Amino acid sequence: MKIGILGGTGNMGRGLTVRWALKHNILIGSRTLEKAQATAKELEKIARGFYQSEMKGGIIGKLNADAIKESEVIVVTLPPEAVVSSLTELRQYMNPDQVVVSTVVAMKKRRGLFRCATISAKELGIGEDLSAAEVVQDLVKPTPVVSAFQTVPAAYLSNIDSVLNLDVLIAGDDELAVNIVSKLVRDIPNLRPLRVGPLENSKWIESITPLLLNAAVLNNLQEPSLRVVPWMPASYTA
């Protein structure tokens, strides 16, 4: 698959790139072509060095608009405050056959702890209490949006030889788009996609991230993430 990553030069974009490059062609998007190309070169070297001849994909740098035009799946790894302005400009390059993945979490920090926040898009007539993924959906419709990866720390992904063993909660309204994103999650070894319902449930996924970060601050944990454990596991023997 061709996966374009908007803001792909950042922490989350870099992490997803080195994982997906094993199987997919990644187009790192940026506001600056030189930055995108330099990041692509650096990550291609890391990925090829690690995967060797197993690596089926490639990594190239593009302007965000070109990454969109040339991709089947577009992943939004932009800071929350950049989402509305960037997508308002970039949505003209999207088409309804593509799939957009929102990884965005809006948060604020107060007295050392994280709280949920929202993305303000009032001036565009977009509701105030929506999750980031729903704001992205309003901006890019009719291209379907799937919410995923909010609870996966970029540092885990970038650490290319770490075994992840994590769950990725996935919310979306378009069945085909959700299936495509679930497959992309499974393409990262030991990540498990867990569907949690329609896109409106993204607000619950997004609210887990500040809780995890507070758990890190208050309990001295490093980069906590999420694994849903069933009671009892099917394999359980007393």
Which positions touch ligand NAP (CB under 6 A)? 7, 9-13, 30-32, 35, 77-80, 82, 86, 103-105, 149-150, 152-154
User: Which residue(s) pair with 166 in the sheet?
Assistant: 191
Instruction: Give the dihedral sign, CA 138/140/146/152.
Output: negative
Query: Whole-angstrom Cα distance, residue 67 to residue 55?
Result: 21
> CA-CA distance, 42 to 127, in Å (whole number)?
40
CB of 77 to ligand NAP, least distance (A): 4
In angstroms, give the least distance from the CB of 158 to ligand NAP.
9
The distance of closest approach from Cβ of residue 149 to ligand NAP in the complex, given in angstroms and rounded to an integer, is: 6
Alpha-carbon 6 to chain mean position: 10
Beta bridge partners of 25: 2, 58
C-beta of 35 vs 195, nearer to ligand NAP: 35
Q: Hunting for tokens 């694994």 — which residue is that?
A: 227
Minimum distance between the CB of residue 119 and ligand NAP, rounded to whole angstroms? 9
Nearer to ligand NAP, 56 or 115 (CB): 115
Q: Which is nearer to ligand NAP, 29 or 57 (CB)?
A: 29
Residue nearest to ligand NAP (CB): 10
